[in-house]
Amino acid sequence: METAAAREVVIRVKDLYKIYRMGDTKVHALDGVDFEIYRGEFCAITGPSGSGKSTLLNMLAGLEHPTKGEIVITGKHIEKLNEKQLVAFRRAHVGFIFQSYNLLATMNAIENVALPLSFKGIPKAVRLKQAKKYLTLVGLGTHMKHMPNQMSGGQQQRVGIARALASEPQIIFADEPTGNLDSKTTMEVLRLMQQIVKEQNQTLIMVTHDNNLATYADRIFKIIDGKIVHIEENHREVDLVALEHAYQTGLPSEKIDESRDV
Ligand X SMILES: Nc1ncnc2c1ncn2[C@@H]1O[C@H](COP(=O)(O)OP(=O)(O)OP(=O)(O)O)[C@@H](O)[C@H]1O
Q: How far apart are CA 262 and CA 158, in angstroms?
A: 31
CB of 212 to Mg ion, least distance (A): 17
Pairing of strands 42-46, 203-207: parallel
DSSP 3-state of 59: helix
For position 63 contacting another protein by CB under 8 A, the verdict is yes
Contact by Cβ (8 Å): 31, 228: no
Pairing of strands 227-233, 219-224: antiparallel
Nearest alpha-carbon partner for 216 in 224, 139, 196, 137: 196
For position 91 contacting another protein by CB under 8 A, the verdict is yes
The nearer residue to another protein, 46 or 108, going by C-beta atoms, is 108
Contact by Cβ (8 Å): 43, 205: yes
Sites for another protein among residues 158-197 (CB under 8 A): 163, 167, 175
CB of 223 to ligand X, least distance (A): 7
For position 99 contacting another protein by CB under 8 A, the verdict is yes
C-alpha torsion sign, points 127, 172, 217, 110: negative
Q: Which of 46, 55, 167, 253 binds ligand X (CB under 6 A)?
A: 55
How many of the other CB atoms lie within 10 Å of CB of 194? 18
- Which partner, ligand X, Mg ion, another protein, none, binds residue 242 by CB below 5 to 8 Å per kind? none
The nearer residue to Mg ion, 45 or 78, going by C-beta atoms, is 45
C-alpha torsion sign, points 247, 218, 208, 92: negative
Identity of the residue numbered 252 = P
For position 99 contacting ligand X by CB under 6 A, the verdict is no
C-alpha torsion sign, points 9, 214, 140, 60: negative
Q: Candidates 36-44, 119-127, 191-199, 246-254: pick the segment binding another protein (CB under 8 A).
A: 119-127
Query: Cα separations (Å) of 259 from 45, 50, 157, 213, 220?
Result: 14, 19, 26, 11, 12
Q: Which of 17, 28, 36, 64 binds another protein (CB under 8 A)?
A: 64
The nearer residue to Mg ion, 113 or 213, going by C-beta atoms, is 213
Burial 241-253 (b: 16+ CB within 10 A, else e): eebeebbeeeeeb
The nearer residue to another protein, 17 or 89, going by C-beta atoms, is 89
Q: Candidates 69-77, 114-122, 150-158, 185-193: pick the segment binding another protein (CB under 8 A).
A: 114-122
Q: How far apart are CA 199 and CA 27, in angstroms?
A: 40
- Quick note: the x/- pattern for ligand X over 189-228, rule CB under 6 A, is --------------------x-------------------
For position 210 contacting another protein by CB under 8 A, the verdict is no
Q: Which of 19, 27, 115, 144 binds ligand X (CB under 6 A)?
A: 27
Binding residues for another protein (CB under 8 A): 54, 58, 61, 63-64, 83-84, 87-88, 90-92, 94, 96, 98-100, 102, 104-107, 115-116, 118-121, 123-124, 163, 167, 175
Binding residues for ligand X (CB under 6 A): 20, 22, 27, 29, 47, 49-55, 209
